[in-house]
Amino acid sequence: MEESRVTILSCPPIYDLIFSCLDYPDLIHISKTCRTARKAVSYFCLRAYNINKHLSHFFNDPIAFRNLQARTSSLISGSNVLQFLDRTYFEDADLDIFVHHIHSQEVGHWILAEGYEFVPTVIQSARLDKSNPSFEDVEGFSDLIESGSTEDEISDYPLGSLVANVFTFQKEDKKVQLIGTIGSPMPCVLAFHCTCVMNFFTHDRAYSLYPKATFISRKTVGVKARSKREKDGLKKYASRGWEVITQECQIRRSELKGLFFLNKERHPRDEYCWQVPFSIEDIEPRYLCQHNPALYNSWVMERPLKTNDYSDYIMSSSYVLKHRALSNTYRVESRWLEKALGKLVKTELEGVRRPLRAPIEARIYKVLGDKFDEYFNIPTADLEDLAI
């Protein structure tokens, strides 16, 4: 019997069929039974969560994109990330890239070089020169990037305090949306209409903020889901198999707290998140230790006391840390942390009024990151195991 088990776990075509039917926590349990099982699970996950293969559906050179992603601290989020982590397929899942708006031109140029065409909205009345596609060939494109758009809503992302501009690119049946954010892209992820899409890719790993609810219990709650567009979004994920909790009778309070960690201060590297590390074999070494502003935000999930509507949760990040010399902003829930980080910034940047050169800014970000990690007691090495 022992020999048969080892034989199965030594044959990828066999154990791939078995493992593909299991949730990630079950894979973790299997991996802890013996060294052969651990090795088999590890190899399966490398294939099942192959980010280069996933991105190659959109880009000819996924490695080049991931290096661009590292350089600009851009995130991929939305339903495309959800389907990747769920090991499923959504027919209409386009690629949504979130990047600080100061990098919109650089990322947009790269997308055009991959053969995509810019598809302007009604207010983006620019025309694209198809024979030599570049943003300079689009009338007014640079102005849009620098000043943002005034349209109330473009595609799925409303403009306002978090989003400066949204640009759509098309190549055959493939669609890429570039969302230029005001400050760090992370608050946009926290502003999604429901918890099941609060997942994102950086250049080196995937993060899920509510993995137990999303991938095990397959439940989600709405976050300020008040408009028709947001309520339609909830219906879309209900049709894809998630139970949308809208009433108190649908779930026990203890289960609700256990799945969504109400009133707890959270951050993307806490013990409640799921991290899936990617291969970094071809990522330029200089990017591997680079500060990623998405990881240095915190939030608390709350439900307003005066409502019974379970689609009206709030992701609270009460304090915003920013400085005119820094390109990134940070949103944190703790007043103490905001004061501590603010004091560091004031000390380090006293008298500075212009944007910093990259090496100096990188040093400031490291100081801020170390203080953030100290506050949350985050070990130097990121956890790679699943939290669900």
Q: What is the pLDDT of residues 332-372, one digit of tens each?
A: 888 888 888 888 888 887 777 677 677 777 788 888 888 89
Residue 137's pLDDT is 42
Dihedral, 43, 210, 245, 24 alpha carbons, nearest 10: 20
Residue 311's pLDDT is 63
Residue among 97, 101, 293 nearest 182 (CA): 101
Report helix, strand or coil for 245.
strand
Q: What is the pLDDT of residues 190-233, one digit of tens each?
A: 989 899 999 999 999 999 999 999 999 999 988 876 677 788 88
Residue 160's pLDDT is 59
Report helix, strand or coil for 268.
coil
DSSP assignment string, 138-167: STTHHHHHHH----SEETTEE-SSSEEEEE
| CB distance 303 to 311 below 8 Å | no
The structure tokens 């039917």 sit at 21
Average pLDDT, the chain: 81
| CB distance 135 to 103 below 8 Å | no
Q: For 6, what's the count of Cα atoms within 13 Å in the CB-facing half-sphere?
A: 6
Residue 199's pLDDT is 97
pLDDT profile of the chain (388 residues), mean per 10: 67 89 87 90 90 96 95 94 92 90 90 92 53 38 43 49 87 93 89 92 95 93 78 87 80 86 92 91 80 89 68 75 78 86 82 72 83 85 42
| CB distance 263 to 301 below 8 Å | yes
Residue among 271, 250, 249 nearest 261 (CA): 271
**Strand partners of residue 100:** 181
The structure tokens 């959270």 sit at 266
